[in-house]
Amino acid sequence: MSADPTPGGGAAISIKGVGKEYTTDAGPVRALTPTDLEIKPREFVVLLGPSGCGKTTLLRMLGGLIMPTEGTITIGDRLLYPEGDDRPSGEALGSLGFVFQQSTLMPWRKVWKNIALPLEGKGVGRKERRRRAEELAETMGLTDFLEHLPRALSGGMQQRVAIARALIHRPSILLMDEPFGALDAMTRDRMNSMLQQLWMDTGKTTVLVTHSISEAVFLADRVVLLSQRPGRIQDVVEIDFPRPRSLDIVKSPLFGEIVQHLRSQLGEI
Ligand SMILES: Nc1ncnc2c1ncn2[C@@H]1O[C@H](COP(=O)(O)OP(=O)(O)OP(=O)(O)O)[C@@H](O)[C@H]1O
Ligand SMILES: [Mg+2]
């Protein structure tokens, strides 16, 4: 038998030797050491690590937002940064939805127009944009707020709008950078349950960045732990709890053990 002919080897995301060194006035800053990681279709991977270890850097490279200094990223069977090009592949970008660390909703646009924004200038008519925004608003529990401005929404609802916007072009991969970091603990728990359900219903390959160990263990199929800057993969932990996971699993001894293991790896004991 010949080797698998697809460049990504069947992975949804294939990361090979990907690293980043920023150029600054004070000299080069190495944010991420060359890193290898394969993410399977429909997998939920959480990147966990201390502040400044390069989580956002890695996620932004996966999202086509910053070029790696070295290495290759393959999305499905396409190179994200084709050799010799100074921009990412449009086809690969079409497979990616991105939710940012800070809210990036446009304050003067109604909720539905924020959700539909990525479709503008793509040849999708207003009626179809509205229809697709309504469809996603229903999934995200935002139907009653389509005509509101973002400031009329709670923080959790605003992040649901941001998730809907990331999904509007029907990507197969969802990349999320600390999407719930600014929310209170109770809202955050609710958002984690909502996200798990969304992931189970849609089967999107998901990569989520967080500082929170318990959020990581609750959500992930696999937790990828990054070391202090310059980040490198320090540990990979498979999380086998059956789904749907209830918020009560945090009380189980096994959950506690996994959290403790990750905490000691992070040097938080
Ligand atoms: N545009 C930039 N220019 C120079 N250095 C940068 C730039 N962006 C990030 N860095 C540096 O790279 C390192 C990694 O940053 P990054 O934002 O990826 O970390 P992070 O793990 O996401 O941190 P946090 O958990 O605080 O969000 C940090 O030391 C940061 O100062
Ligand atoms: Mg970050």
Is the per-residue pLDDT at 26 higher than 50?
yes
Question: In angstroms, what is the span from residue 64 Cα to ligand 2's centroid?
Answer: 16
Question: In angstroms, what is the span from residue 59 Cα to ligand 1's centroid?
Answer: 11
Confidence of residue 1 (pLDDT cuts 50, 70, 90): very low
Question: In angstroms, what is the span from residue 147 Cα to ligand 2's centroid?
Answer: 31
Question: In angstroms, what is the span from residue 264 Cα to ligand 1's centroid?
Answer: 23
Region 112-125 average pLDDT: 95
Please give the number of the atom of ligand 1 that sits closest to the Cα of 49.
Answer: 21
Look at 7-21, 183-197, 210-224, 227-241 and tell me which has the smallest mean pLDDT.
7-21
Beta bridge partners of 175: 98, 207
Confidence of residue 7 (pLDDT cuts 50, 70, 90): low
- Report the interhelical angle of 155-167 vs 185-202 (nearest 10°): 20
Sign of the Cα torsion 208, 160, 76, 83 reads negative
Measuring from each residue's beta carbon to the nearest atom of ligand 1, which residues come in under 6 Å?
Answer: 22, 24, 29, 31, 49, 51-57, 211, 229
Beta carbons of 112 and 130 less than 8 angstroms apart: yes
Mean pLDDT, the chain, as a whole number? 94
Alpha-carbon gap, residue 64 to 76, rounded angstroms: 14
Confidence of residue 10 (pLDDT cuts 50, 70, 90): confident
Region 144-158 average pLDDT: 96
Tokens at 56, concatenated: 């956002």
Q: What is the pLDDT of residues 43-76, one digit of tens each?
A: 999 999 999 999 999 999 999 999 999 999 999 9
Give the CA-trace dihedral at 183, 189, 192, 197, to 10 degrees: -140
- Looking at this protein, which amino acid is placed at residue 214? S
Alpha-carbon gap, residue 28 to 151, rounded angstroms: 39
Return the residue whose CA atom lies nearest to atom 26 of ligand 1.
51
Higher-confidence residue of 102 and 72: namely: 72
Return the residue whose CA atom lies nearest to atom 3 of ligand 1.
22
Residue 69: per-residue pLDDT: 97
Residue 46: per-residue pLDDT: 98
Look at 7-11, 106-110, 124-128, 249-253 and tell me which has the smallest mean pLDDT.
7-11
Q: What is the pLDDT of residues 173-218, one digit of tens each?
A: 999 999 999 999 999 999 999 999 999 999 999 999 999 999 999 9
Q: Nearest ligand to the C-alpha of residue 48? A: 1
| Domain limits, the chain | 105-170
Is the per-residue pLDDT at 232 higher than 60?
yes
Return the residue whose CA atom lies nearest to atom 29 of ligand 1.
52
DSSP code per residue over 180-201: TTTS-HHHHHHHHHHHHHHHHH
Question: In angstroms, what is the span from residue 136 Cα to ligand 2's centroid?
Answer: 27
Residue 267: per-residue pLDDT: 84
Confidence of residue 269 (pLDDT cuts 50, 70, 90): low
Higher-confidence residue of 268 and 81: namely: 81
Alpha-carbon gap, residue 165 to 167, rounded angstroms: 5
Please give the number of the atom of ligand 1 that sits closest to the Cα of 66.
Answer: 1
Choosing from 18, 21, 22 the residue with most ligand 1 atoms within 8 A of its CB, the one to mutate for a pocket test is 22
Residue 2: per-residue pLDDT: 44
